[in-house]
Chains A and B, each alone.
Chain A
Amino acid sequence: MRAVITVVGKDTVGILSRVSAECAAHKINVEEVTQSILRDMFAMIMMVDIEQSDIPFTEFADNLESIGKDMHLSIHAMHEDLFNAMHTI
């Protein structure tokens, strides 16, 4: 199963490293990363494989959310199916 992690907020040092460290800590493989700066807002999207994850997905999502709060960013981890359903026919 794959999930999408999105990080939106003001650009700051260490975003990628904090989020990928959390992934690595739970055997979650990062498959793809795209990032862009929209005006001065930072937007990063990560596709991750959570098949081998050692914690339930909801717990992982909560962890990321609290990292987000820490860094004043909005971080979401959501099941890939949601985006596929909404944006493909």
Chain B
Amino acid sequence: MLNAHDILETIQMIEEENLDVRTITMGISLLDCCHSDIDVTCQKIYDKITRYAKDLVKTGEQIEREYGIPIINKRISVTPIAMILASCENRDAVKIAVTLEKAALACGVNFLGGFSALVQKGFGPGDRELIEAIPEALAVTEHICSSVNIGSTKTGINMDAVKLMGQTVRRAAELTADKGCIGPAKLVVFCNAPEDNPFMAGAFHGAGEPDCVINVGVSGPGVVRAALAKAGDCDLTAVADLIKKTAFKITRMGQLVATEASRRLGVPFGIVDLSLAPTPAVGDSVAYILEEMGLECCGCHGTTAALALLNDAVKKGGVMASSHVGGLSGAFIPVTEDAGMIEASRCGGLTIQKLEAMTAVCSVGLDMINIPGDTPAEVISAIIADEAAIGMVNSKTTAVRVIPAIGMNVGDELSFGGLLGGGPVMPLSTYSPAKFINRGGRIPAPMQSLKN
């Protein structure tokens, strides 16, 4: 039986603590859109996406109003486009990107992910063409997100792809320099990419997924922080317990929205992604949770331990609340999207070295970090290689989404607006890894025993 306290708690979470469902993402397989003629392929892609997702936004808005839960984003993820491109004689990937943009606009979604390639072991047909087209595709479209998987625990790291991706990230920034370097903000380089991730920019619909599926990503850093603030002085066992209980409630809401959306759209429910996804809104910050735990500034010594506790407790609380859990599931630490991280990096409390350590225990990786505009491609590749190595060795997903702020230096501010936020350009090591990156080849898959 419901009691007044529970009801008012929910209302307070939504009204004051920014509780929301971050995204309902419809995954659509495009494997049956393959055709040797790229124009036919494009037509099939447009038709299928607009047929399957025509009611997605409307249904999301209906659920939002009936249940009173804000559902911030309605999105689409599709089969990695490199797989589709492989069937075409003329492999003009930008043409497909433009088609996807049209389909995204027709459906009214705010992002469509899956302009992707999986090259962890090597390049297949279509992969190179797709990667080379990424900078232009991101420059001529607004809603398309791209991701490339360059390594995994089972395969090791494809260092040729790492080299190429360093150049691609840089080029994407150069081509969008007049639009605030927005290109690389829509591009993620993964190791161990999940196939059912509903969050952008890394969402794609994996080859093992059904024809169409509904995945939901929850959020709620503000709720966790508020719960900790109310708890006052307690030990870390109690902190972990409290985070678990809060994550349970947040996830139950996500599960409800996911089952309801799947029922109304007649599409199978895939997973709930148990994530604490921050937004630039004050109070909706993962950094503030860490500071609430007792750190003076996010990034100080102790941050990695606090984040490890948080990430684990979110998963433990969420797992029981949902019938199927997947995606990235954990705490995100995107710098420009998190008010607390922005402050910490402005005052110098948070450095890229500490962020790298944090990615070993959180759910994603070096995310939304502005780097100096003159950063050479090899340095970006080396950042990707470091991050992929952490993911590969620890059997977890890691990713890099850094934005070379063209024409800017350390301390300058680059802003994207909206959910992507903005923040200062952070300093990198200026020593060169060029020789290491230019060697190419593959880093072999790591041992799965003798773990020390």
Contacts and interface: CB of A to CB of B under 8 A. Distances in A.
A52 B320 CA distance: 35
A61 B252 CA distance: 23
Nearest to B14: A76
Which of B8, B62, B66 counts the most A-chain CB atoms under 10 A from its CB?
Answer: B66
A51 to B, nearest CB: 15
A86 B6 contact: yes
B249 A87 contact: yes
Contact of A4 (B2, B15, B320): B2
A28 B65 CA distance: 18
Interface of A: 4, 6, 8, 34, 36, 43, 45, 47, 57-58, 61, 74, 76-87, 89
B67 A82 contact: yes
A49 B10 CA distance: 20
Contact of A85 (B11, B15, B68, B253): B253
A72 to B, nearest CB: 15
Nearest to B69: A82
Given A61-B65, A61-B68, A82-B69, A45 B256 contact: no
Interface string B233-268: 000000000000000010011011000000000000
B450 interface: no
B252 A45 contact: no
Contacts of A77: 68
A76 B65 CA distance: 10
Interface string B1-42: 010101111110001000000000000000000000000000
A89 B252 CA distance: 9
Interface in B311-325: 320
Given A58-B62, A86-B253, A78 B6 contact: no
A23 B60 CA distance: 26
Contact of A45 (B7, B66, B68, B255): B7
Interface string B44-83: 0000000000000000001001111100000000000000
Contact of A58 (B15, B65, B69): B65
A82 B62 CA distance: 14
A57 B2 CA distance: 21
Given A81-B67, A82-B253, A82-B256, A87 B11 contact: no
Given A6-B8, A83-B10, A89-B320, 17 more contacts: A6-B11, A8-B8, A8-B11, A47-B2, A58-B62, A58-B65, A74-B11, A76-B11, A78-B66, A78-B67, A79-B66, A82-B10, A82-B256, A83-B6, A85-B253, A85-B256, A86-B249
